Structure 1
Amino acid sequence: MEFLRPATWDEALAAKAEYPTAVPIAGGTDVMVELNFDRHRPVALIDLNRIPELHDWETGADGVVRLGASVPYARIIGHLSDRLPGLSLAARTVGSPQIRNRGSVGGNLGAASPAGDSHPALLASGCLVEAASADRGPRMIPIDEFFLGVKRNALEPDELILAVHIPSATGPQQFAKIGTRNAMVIAVCSFGMALHPEAGSVRTGIGSAAPTPRRAGAAEEFIAAELADTGMWASRGELAAATAKRFGELVAEAASPIDDVRGSAAYRRHALSVLARRTLTWTWDEYRAAGRAAA
């Protein structure tokens, strides 16, 4: 196995072009598990730790956070909780403190696991994944188009992830996860959602309950129509229990879970309906409280 240590982004892209089946490694929290259990033996590893661009983040004038692919979860929690609250909540459930100091959103996206903890929050935010190749340069991949199958993503063989462009929150965001404990566990199922008041929309993300992370489109359309038709965005009135219940049912219908060692398909559907109902209630209560505080 070749071990490559590029010092610049251009060198990293050149290495990926020369070794298209090479596996990039930064935090190593997913890759090393595969290697240690002999589940994968790539022809080469590309160590990305010396590339400074991958470790930086910045907020643009438009409020979009450009998050370097190797920025660890611990820094997201420590510095970006106000701008990216949903992702920060998800980051808090990732592994142990040691894992959060090494693992990153870029690595989570590269692995493309259906159970990746960051994926529901990224889907709910409506972000863009910035990838690049030596020959074609950079391109933006909408998060809705990024996940193609179980542990398969939209990257070409010669591409690497440089950054993720995530809009700063304009409304409340939430993340919830079911597992045998809150962290250091693969999710039985997970759910993220974000209110986007300026657009009058709601976005969601389902994790560990389908071949890929996915949104609950019918649930989003239902709750957005309910809030618009009743004037709730402006009035910030109380959300009816029946509305939250129906939202949860539609989220569960959007999943296509399986039975496995962590939980049955039936349990995952039930848990998702509960998570969706709760997170909708939490986000809406937070939205109402913000309105009262502003008044």
Structure 2
Amino acid sequence: MDFLRPAGWEEALAAKAEHPSAVPIAGGTDVMVELNFDHRRPAYLMDLTRIRELREWEAGEGLVRLGACVPYTRIIDELSQPLPGLALAARTVGSPQIRNRGSVGGNLGAASPAGDSHPPLLAAGAEIEVESAARGTRRIPVDDFYVGVKRNALAEDELIRSVIIEAADGPQQFSKVGTRNAMVIAVCAFGLALHPESRTVGTGIGSAAPTPRRATEAEAFIAAELDASGLWERPKPIPAAVADRFAELVSAAASPIDDVRGSADYRRHALKVMARRTLTWTWTEYFSSRSNRCA
């Protein structure tokens, strides 16, 4: 196995073009596990830790541009206001040591259905900025990024540069079921984001289908109910029947399997519970903020 260590972004793109099979590594929290268990033996590893811009983020015009290698710890400490859903998910990732090393870019590269960052990225409608030396830069909507179990939409000569996410204009939540709060692979996970400006609701399901996915019918249903009832302008508690139907539609959007971490039936049930709870939490926060503003 050869080790590549580019000093800058252009050098990294050139190395990836010359060695398309090279596996990028920064935190190594996924790659090193595969190497240690001999599940993977790539011809080349490409260390991205010297590329400064991948470890930076910037905000402006309602968007956050998150470098692919910004660690989860910094997302928690520095981005809880503009990216609350992602920050909540980051808190459940591994141990403090893992959060200091792991990144959203690494999660996206691995494309595991159980990756903790995927549900909030889906709920927020993120875009993945990727680049190749030959074709330049393109943005991939996060919905289109996951193409199979542990497979993503990257071309063989592309690298993930950043994730573009709209700053939150409403409450967001993340919920995860596992044997403990962190340091565990999710049995299933769910992210939800309210978007009052567009009067829409975003969702993200993790570890309950071959790929992370949105519950689009549930999104359309709850957005229509909120709009028809005038609750965006005059918020009050969501009727129990509406919340229950939303939860049923979220569960129906999943296609889980039985495995060592949980059964398909349990995952469907857990998604119902998480969907109902996160909807209640986010709407209560929105309702309270509107009531305080009008008081």
Q: TM-score, normalised by structure 2?
A: 0.99
- Kindly report structure 1 stretches of 4+ aligned residues shifted beyond 4 Å: none
- The residue number in structure 2 matching 1:28 is 28
**Secondary structure of the corresponding residue to residue 180 of structure 2:** coil
**Deviations 1:203-238 (CA, angstroms, capped at 9, x unpaired):** 100000000000001100110010011101111011
Q: Residue 148 of structure 2 aligns to which amino acid in structure 1? A: G
**Which residue of the partner structure matches residue 113 of structure 2?**
114
Q: Match of 2:158?
A: 159
Question: Aligned-pair distance for 1:292?
Answer: 1.3
**Which residue pairs with 2:58 in the alignment?**
58
Residue 194 of structure 1 deviates from its aligned partner by 0.2
Amino acid at match of 2:210: P
**Correspondence 1:67-106 to 2 at 5 A:** 67-106=66-105
Residue equivalent to 2:188: 189
In structure 2, how many angstroms separate the alpha carbons of the residues matched to 1:35 and 1:99? 17
CA distance in 2, matches of 1:250, 1:292: 29
SS of corresponding position for 1:234: coil
**One-letter amino acid of the structure 2 residue matched with residue 37 of structure 1:** F
Deviation at 1:172, TM superposition (A): 0.3
Render the CA deviation track for 1:49-82: whole Å, top value 9, x for unaligned: 000110000001x110000000000000000000
Q: How far did residue 272 of structure 1 move?
A: 0.3
- Indicate the residue corresponding to 2:178 in structure 1: 179
Aligned mates of 1:290, 1:99 — CA distance in 2: 34
Amino acid across the alignment from 1:179: G
Structure 1, 235-244 or 46-55: larger mean CA deviation: 235-244
* Distance in 1 (alpha carbons) for counterparts of 2:16 and 2:208: 32
* Aligned amino acid, residue 140 of structure 1: R
How do 1:211-290 residues align onto structure 2 when only pairs under 5 Å count?
211-290=210-289
Deviation at 1:152, TM superposition (A): 0.4
1:7 is matched with 7
Cα distance in structure 1, aligned partners of 2:90 and 2:115? 10
Distance in 2, Cα, partners of 1:7 & 1:32: 21
Q: Secondary structure at the match of 1:35?
A: helix
Letter in 2 for 1:116: G
How far apart in 1 are the matches of 2:261 and 2:173? 23
Equivalent position SS for 2:233: helix
| AA partner of residue 24 (structure 2) | P
Question: Could you list the runs of 5+ residues in structure 1 that have no partner in the other structure?
Answer: none
Aligned residues: 294
**Residue aligned with 1:219, SS:** helix
Which amino acid letter does the alignment assign opposite residue 123 of structure 1? L
Shift of 1:153: 0.4
String of CA shifts for 1:267-294, please: whole Å, max 9, x gaps. 0000000000000000000000110121
Equivalent residue letter for 2:166: P
- Amino acid of the residue matched to residue 10 of structure 1? E
Identity %: 71
Q: How does 1:203-218 map to 2 (within 5 A)?
A: 203-218=202-217
Map of 1:37 onto structure 2: 37
Query: Are 2:198 and 1:199 aligned?
Result: yes
Q: Secondary structure at the match of 2:39?
A: coil
TM-score (norm 1): 0.99
